[in-house]
Structure 1
Amino acid sequence: MDNPQRVGDAGAMQPDPLTSPDTLSDALAETAYLADDGLATVTWLAHTLQRPLLLEGEPGTGKTALAEAMADLVDVPLIRLQCYEGIEASQALYDWDFPRQILHLRAVEALAQKATAGQRVEELEAELFDERFLQARPVLQALRAAPCVLLVDEIDRADDEFEAFLLEVLSTWSVSIPELGVVAAETPPFVVLTSNRTRELHDALKRRCLYHWIEHPGLERELAIVRARLPEVEETLAREVVTLVQQLRDDETLVKPPGVAETLDWARALTALGQSRLDPEVAATTMGAAVKYREDAERVRVALDRMLTR
């Protein structure tokens, strides 16, 4: 991606946010994304070296949010490819708009063209695979729209074949469309791949990327995240919610401990209810914002009094 200088409120040129890991960290903080030194450094290196960035970690630790923050920071489009079981290359690259092609055929047939039948066939074949009938999917969109941020979300949900296809694209920054030719990115997009590690990714893909594991933040950093993202939340309430969530993460019996995203949802829900403190009764009635399994909810409900009196 290009690194344009930003214009401040008074019209003065601001320092390039991508000159160093420190400036990147500070600039991300302005978008309410608080990155630690390790994450800021690997993100800066991935951008500077034009390498994809592979982020792994528990759900809700801010992997997807980093791609969103980077797109916001440098003011470029964010193009998202959501992976899922059974996804194929066509869902990531392109498809032909068959209904429009059929309508085009019927429209042409309705016209009494003066050309010979042979000429009409050749012309029609060329017209049917014209650019106007091409439906670009996220990967092709990113190659054509660069500079941009391409988010490949939850790559671990896709299968080996799709992973191999993606590796080829990331190695060449180009794709071949038989009917139109090769499409290559003039500027490689900034690529962020996320994985919740439901399966191990292949070494070949990992070698192509820079890698970082995102841990759940400590109490003070998570509190800072809540204050940055939700300034309307009362300070006392924010601290109590974060403290409780930190305790829940320490409970190894939970099926799915809450992530930072759940902390934000819980604080937002409590504020919407007009709460300024967190007590056992209110926590019990709103825990669905943070705890997503019935078994976990039952365990937490039993322990709320003890947790909130620590």
Structure 2
Amino acid sequence: MTRALPDTIDATVSLLEAEGYVADRALATVLFLSLRMKRPIFLEGEAGVGKTEIAKVLASALDRPLIRLQCYEGLDVSSALYEWNYAAQMIEIRLREASGDTSRDAARSEIFSNEFLIRRPILQAMEGEPGRAPVLLIDELDRTDEAFEAFLLEVLADNQVTIPELGTIRAPEPPIVVITTNRTREIHDALKRRCLYHWVDYPEADRELEIVRRKAPRANADLSRELVAFVQELRQRDLFKAPGVAETIDWANALTELDAVALDPRHVSDTLGVLLKYQDDIEKLQQGETTKILDQIKRDLETGG
């Protein structure tokens, strides 16, 4: 059964925490406003900080269908909105010809009907059930081009789409729209103005530790503290790609599988590929940096720094 939308910011925090998502108050506030005002939310931030997970958590917490549009270079309207089942249409035309039915108007009205319409994610979101509007995740919008952004304006502004053969289809209830971008390029202001904006940053140490405790509960408590401190230190270094929260969780699970109860240079060296995804970054840490970082974080943890 669909759950009611949270009626306070604190209720929004609790809603997210119940699904294992540890959010700061600023994010919870934007989510609360987005839900109450029925406005899309635009989440920007580095890869791996939990932007996509927010949409999944909302869908689960509110018991709504999750419809995901994964963006990529070259994404067009037919892949995002709809396309016609041309093979089935041709079969229908041949059957009509074989039966002697030559009425072109009748044929056109039948082959361009719902029966032959293939619904893609955005159209599916527009046709959601009243009272149970889905969560529409438009993931990594920055991978598309400006033409696709322009198409989205009608969707975001009016909660409707236009199919030339069928007309305008308006959502009976606006879907909950979550747009994410890794900021590989700037998104046009016209689209951003239709959304509530939030920058999803890397979490501070205390919050990241709580995330690890929830997402990697088997990890030793001392190990969790040390690996979070290690990751926090790495994000201060000049790396091509700093590790995100997703990598922190993966690393905690990987070290647990190796029965590690504390960080040591050997474990770190053997598992850097879980944490870092570029060889240049890995090489920087294999040149004596790992031991220095470990010594520093252990001193800081011992002194409460």
1:49 corresponds, among 37, 60, 67, to: 37
Equivalence for 1:296: 281
1:69 aligns with 2:54: no
1:217 aligns with 2:203: yes
Equivalence for 1:168: 154
* Cα distance in 2, alignment partners of residues 278 and 105 from structure 1: 68
Residues 56-95 of structure 1 mapped to structure 2, 5 A cutoff? 56-95=44-83
Q: Secondary structure at the match of 2:90?
A: helix
Deviation at 1:81, TM superposition (A): 1.0
Letter in 1 for 2:249: L
Deviation at 1:22, TM superposition (A): 0.6
For residues 245-269 of structure 1, the C-alpha deviation after alignment (integer angstroms, 9 at most, x for no partner) is: 1111010x20000000110111112
Equivalence for 2:299: none
* Cα distance in 2, alignment partners of residues 202 and 46 from structure 1: 20
For normalisation by structure 2, the TM-score amounts to: 0.91
Aligned residue pairs total 292
* Cα distance in 2, alignment partners of residues 104 and 282 from structure 1: 63
Q: Secondary structure at the match of 1:309?
A: helix
Equivalence for 1:128: 111
2:87 corresponds, among 91, 99, 124, to: 99
1:202 aligns with 2:188: yes
1:280 aligns with 2:268: no
Deviation at 1:136, TM superposition (A): 0.8
Larger mean CA deviation between 31-40 and 276-285 belongs to 276-285
Equivalence for 1:154: 140
Q: Secondary structure at the match of 1:65?
A: helix
Q: Secondary structure at the match of 2:178?
A: strand
* Cα distance in 2, alignment partners of residues 281 and 135 from structure 1: 53
Letter in 1 for 2:86: F
For normalisation by structure 1, the TM-score amounts to: 0.90
Equivalence for 1:32: 20
1:145 aligns with 2:128: yes
> Can you give the 5+ residue segments of structure 2 that lack an aligned partner in the other structure?
297-305
For residues 82-120 of structure 1, the C-alpha deviation after alignment (integer angstroms, 9 at most, x for no partner) is: 11222222221100111222233344445x35x5x3x3x
What is the CA RMSD across the aligned residues, in angstroms?
1.6
8 Å contact 1:17–1:27 — kept in the other structure? no
1:238 aligns with 2:224: yes
Equivalence for 1:13: none
Deviating runs (4+, > 6 A) in structure 1?
none
Percent of aligned positions that are identical: 47
* Cα distance in 1, alignment partners of residues 106 and 259 from structure 2: 67
Deviation at 1:227, TM superposition (A): 0.7
